[in-house]
A and B are shown apart, each in its own frame.
Chain A
Amino acid sequence: MTANAPGAPVVRLTGVSKAFGATGSSSTTPTVALSNISLDIQRGEFVSLIGPSGCGKSTLLRLVGDLTEPTGGTVQVNGKPAGQARLDRDYGMVFQSPTLFDWRTVEENVRLPLELFGYDNAARAERTSEMLELVRLTDFARHRPYQLSGGMQQRVAIARALAFSPSLLLMDEPFGALDEMTRERMNSEVLSIWARTGITVIFVTHSIPEAVFLSSRVAVMSARPGRITRVVDVDLPRPRGLETRESTAYFSFITEVREALRAGQGTETDLASVERTAAEGLIG
């Protein structure tokens, strides 16, 4: 919702690092979560961040959203410091848990940011019904969160995140808690929403197939301290659907990402721990 020079990246990370516990007390050695991350994300891209548990990918997303501050480097969103972008409400965010308010109905939940941002009643009603249509939950407008399944709740969270038409959507493992089939369906839904709105998306995930299926590019991160090992350009044709998931190219991109992940684990001397990390979270 604010002007950025055309062709300028929506998000620019320059030499970003984040250390926890670096408060000057000598008893705790700081944990370096992220080290020297540089990445540009262009308008309309769909970029996934993938990496082993603890690699800092969620932290990186939070840095973009100014929910935490870097200890080094700069984060620019829409040509502004991340903090200003947050104050200007340039992005919407979807968390791992839907974080809906129990005391509000589905449509009241979607309406929340519109109320906070001072939209008038007519605009609120219009945007809310548009968003519910977008996520195909119009019939559930008067329901309460507890009456919806996990997947439906996340759709409400997505509707809420897009309600005020941000140019950037940050998603932190939104489908992690869902079963495989629901997850695949949600992937298709997100892609159709992305195609319809032209929004820029940064998507954090544990799942290699999900990252490859959704993204234009996959940024592969190493184990802590997190660095970007490799950025894989996923050159699969769009629109992507069932045929995509069964194509040879899809599998070869998955392999490429997997190998980049293994490379980022450090030395391969402890093969068992590498296998364990792979088994833990990276098998889609």
Chain B
Amino acid sequence: MDAVRRYLPAALILVGVLVAWEVSVQVSQVQGFILPAPSAIWAALAENWTEGYAILPAARVTLFEAMGGLVLGTVLGVITAFVVSRFPASRDTVLPLAIAINAIPIIAFAPVANNWFGILSPLSKMAIAAALVYFPIMINVLRGLTQVEESALELMRSYAAGPAAVTRQVRVPNALPFFLTGLKVATTLSLIGAVVGEYFGGLSATLGRVVVAAASELRFDVTWAAILIVSLGGIALYLGVVVLERLLIPWHPSVRGERPA
């Protein structure tokens, strides 16, 4: 009941926007290829779910690419964070490099990745997604591993605990909330990476290609339908991380409901 009350305003606003959108399109008789009404988008979604533009199978492939990129980027990010926290001297070498790589616009990198890994191969989209995921994961985990209370480290020193024990007992649990925050950002980015990669070329049964194909045929209702599915996918992944948080860090103030993450 608490959850219903908390999200009621947001739900009402959403419904309000949809109603206003539908009404204004009907009333103004604006052309469907400029701004389709929500009802038209819904119809296009239903029509093209498994037939026509086949949004469902396309969504599966895009999700697969995004997940692959998420896993790849996360693994690399976590490894980098552990290495830099274990060897602080490497920080000044690794961090500037990571920041520089992160600054490369994805729009520029996507065609390059397609070229390197094969335009039709899901691997190229995974590479793009991974490139977006890497930095937020790495920087968050690094902070979590290193931003430990000084008194906790003194306590471990008083136990004559070695660096491995300190990492296992203090740094890793401390890093979990930071990691999950990074993951929330990363899941959204992984989808964006996959779809943007597809814009520049890929299997036709992907959401990015559906958007491009439908737009080129002026079927903007289908375009919007595909975008809707991408958004829902992003929301679903985000909620997945929220569930993960409840399971892994129930003790954290953000999870036990005291203050926002």
Chain A positions within 8 Å of B, measured between CB atoms, are 65, 67, 86-87, 89, 91-93, 95-97, 99, 101-103, 112-113, 115-117, 144, 146
Partner of A86, one of B160, B176, B252, B256: B160
Residue ID in chain A nearest B161 by CB atoms:
A116
Give the chain A neighbours of B2 by CB distance below 8 A: none
**Chain B interface, DSSP helix/strand/loop, else mixed:** helix
Residues of B in contact, count (CB < 8 Å)? 20
Chain B positions within 8 Å of A, measured between CB atoms, are 149, 151-152, 154-155, 157-161, 165, 169-170, 173, 176, 249, 251-253, 256
* A102–B252 touching, CB < 8 Å: yes
* A99–B158 touching, CB < 8 Å: no
Q: Give me 11 A-to-B residue pairs in the complex whose CB atoms sit less than 8 angstroms apart, sorted by A's number.
A: A87-B160, A89-B160, A93-B155, A97-B151, A99-B151, A99-B152, A99-B155, A116-B159, A117-B159, A146-B251, A146-B253
Partner of A95, one of B155, B170, B176, B251: B155
* B149–A99 touching, CB < 8 Å: yes
CA distance A87 to B157 in the complex (A): 9
Closest 3 CB pairs of A and B: A99-B151, A103-B173, A93-B158
A-B contact count (CB 8 A): 48
**Chain A interface, DSSP helix/strand/loop, else mixed:** loop
Give the chain A neighbours of B160 by CB distance below 8 A: 86-87, 89
CA distance A238 to B169 in the complex (A): 41
Interface-central residue, A101, A113, A117, by most chain B CB under 10 Å: A101
Chain B min CB distance to A169 (Å): 11
Partner of B151, one of A65, A92, A95, A117: A95
Q: A65-B158, A146-B251 are in contact. Are A101 and B173 (CB under 8 A)?
A: yes
* A112–B169 touching, CB < 8 Å: yes
* A86–B251 touching, CB < 8 Å: no
Residue ID in chain A nearest B170 by CB atoms:
A101
Q: A112-B169, A116-B165, A146-B253 are in contact. Are A89 and B159 (CB under 8 A)?
A: yes
Chain B min CB distance to A247 (Å): 37
Q: A102-B251, A146-B251 are in contact. Are A116 and B169 (CB under 8 A)?
A: yes
Give the chain A neighbours of B251 by CB distance below 8 A: 102-103, 144, 146
